[in-house]
Amino acid sequence: MEGNVKRRNTQQRKVILDILRSTDIHPTADWIYERAREYIPNISLGTVYRNLKILRDEGLILELNDGKQSRFDGRIDEHFHFKCTSCNSIYDIDTPEIVSVDESFLIKEGYQVDSYDVIFSGICPRCSGSQN
């Protein structure tokens, strides 16, 4: 009995992680839920939320807050994000020159820094028409 529950939980978590790793759109929990139902028809939104929190706490995914709702990211290597205020897309930004944040000023003030999160926002190339 216990073993079955554990196996089911593990399977649900794996499906959610696979869905997240197969996209770069930084989806919401609702989006992930819709995809997860294709694999596990009886999964609930609450289960999806719970597993997302577990995966986040285990450091396997990132949770980004876009001000309105949480978005999730299957990519956990260091990268920044650009949020388009027109189409609401979140893009991964890899430009190496900007992957350098100096937190030493915070440490001097007595803060203990574990991580940082940079989200640029504005209009993406698709919305501004500078890229077809």
Residues engaged in binding Zn ion (CB under 5 A): 73, 75, 84, 86-87, 92, 124, 127
Q: How far is the CB of 46 from Zn ion (least distance, A)?
A: 25
> Which amino acid type is present at position 22?
S
User: By C-beta, is 107 or 118 nearer to Zn ion?
Assistant: 118
Q: How far is the CB of 54 from Zn ion (least distance, A)?
A: 19
Torsional sign, CA 53, 54, 57, 61:
negative
Q: How far is the CB of 27 from Zn ion (least distance, A)?
A: 11
Q: Which residues, other chains included, contact 55 with Cβ-Cβ below 8 Å and sequence gap of 6+?
A: 13, 16, 17, 20, 61
User: By C-beta, is 35 or 37 nearer to Zn ion?
Assistant: 35
User: By C-beta, is 10 or 121 nearer to Zn ion?
Assistant: 121
119, β-bridge pairs: 81
Q: Cα–Cα distance between 90 and 60 in angstroms, integer?
A: 19
